[in-house]
Homo-oligomer: A and B are copies of this chain.
Amino acid sequence: MRILVLGGDGYLGWPTALHLSARGHSVGIADNLARRSYDDELGTASLVPIADLDERVATWNDVSGHVVAPFVVDLSDFDAIDGVLAELEPDAVVHFGEQRSAPYSMIDRAHAVYTQVNNVVGTLNVLYAMAERDRSIHLVKLGTMGEYGTPNIDIEEGFIEVTHKGRTDTLPFPKQPGSFYHLSKVHDSHNIAFACKAWGLRATDLNQGIVYGQQTFETALHPRLATRFDYDAVFGTVLNRFVVQAVSGHPLTVYGSGGQTRGMLNIEDTVACVELALLHPPAPGEYRVFNQFTESFSVREMADLVVDAIPGEHVIEHIPAPRVEAEEHYYRAAHTKLVDLGLAPHLLDAVVIRGLADVVAEHVDRVDPRVMLPTVDWRMPLEARLRR
């Protein structure tokens, strides 16, 4: 299969590109390297050093014998992404190419506008390029479980059958996202569903949970193949951050009561899920949604798991929640469609956490404690704080 991975230089895009390449697919990468520039802006860095895109690609060629073709393009540039589609003629496009941090989107107005325009326009450009070049291309788009919010009913995979006043219909599952980033993914989902209906495109929206881990089989083959590992309060995901805090001797910072429950998955399962979606494409015109996670944990439970798994004394500190979200809530979400396609989940246990702790220990001298505490306040945009 010929596959174009958008955002293929990022935390998950890079391991996914390698995994697909290792599995014998012909893979191209498109990326504007924005994730690296966010580090420059925020004064952060991946805990695990990462090579430049060119070095990564060359190393993969050396190690595996496979070729991955890199294109440095911005999805907001329609002609550029259209040109890549023309050159690669892909069977599928895997779309990780968006600004992916909720706190980043909540810094201030400029970051909210940037996140929504970047994500929504980039995806519109991809949809139009597909509609104009080849409507059979399968779009595999990274969404988020955060699109659903935390309703007081079970979350289904994208759609729900509703009976109301004696009539029944299957409707898009109502969305209650909790940041301008999560909202951008909801906007994308609506745009993609419409494009499938209007133009007969086919798309899989992967509503992914929170990913933890840093190594996949392929990235572990050589240090220059490593993917990034973020632990800062803006781009770090919660379990990765807890492991860094535990290993580096800092308190594990739980936001509020820690009853916030989320779907989680191992980075190894991300790459497997994307390939499963690719190997089982939807029908022309079909827009489908898979909930891509394997287990649910509350933030409190994750902190406890880390404390129990990693030797030594650890402190769990509850700090005021910077986000606007329910700290205690019902949470039960379906996630059977990928399992039905053959996903064999890597579940979270003490061994997995200790493996992650080993990665952290190797680079613990690079830990910057200043970046681990939240600085973005959901209730107060930066300008408003500066004015006070």
Contacts and interface: CB of A to CB of B under 8 A. Distances in A.
Given A124-B113, A131-B384, A381-B128, A168 B183 contact: no
A384 B199 CA distance: 11
A365 interface: no
A131 B177 CA distance: 19
A357 interface: no
A164 B160 contact: yes
A172 interface: yes
A172 B175 contact: yes
B167 A330 contact: yes
A198 interface: yes
Contact of A171 (B151, B156, B165, B180): B151
A254 interface: no
A370 interface: no
A153 B131 contact: no
A180 B120 CA distance: 11
B152 A169 contact: yes
Which 3 A-B pairs give the minimum distances between C-beta atoms?
Answer: A152-B169, A171-B174, A109-B128
A372 interface: no
A351 interface: no
A197 B106 CA distance: 14
A125 interface: yes
Interface residues of A, number: 54
Interface in A166-209: 167-169, 171-180, 183, 186-187, 190-191, 193-194, 197-199
Given A117-B121, A198-B324, A199-B379, 9 more contacts: A116-B124, A131-B384, A152-B168, A156-B164, A162-B162, A174-B174, A183-B190, A186-B187, A198-B379
A174 B165 CA distance: 16
A308 interface: no
Given A112-B128, A132-B383, A190 B186 contact: yes
16 contacts: A78-B109, A113-B121, A120-B187, A124-B180, A128-B383, A132-B381, A132-B383, A132-B387, A151-B171, A153-B163, A153-B164, A153-B167, A153-B169, A154-B165, A160-B162, A180-B194
A169 B179 CA distance: 21
Given A162-B160, A383-B132, A169 B183 contact: no
Interface string A205-227: 00000000000000000000000
Interface string A40-71: 00000000000000000000000000000000
Contacts of A235: none
Contacts of A151: 169, 171
A229 interface: no
A203 to B, nearest CB: 15
A162 B92 CA distance: 36
Contacts of A183: 187, 190-191, 194
A135 to B, nearest CB: 10
Interface string A353-376: 000000000000000000000000
Contacts of A109: 78, 124-125, 128
Interface string A242-265: 000000000000000000000000
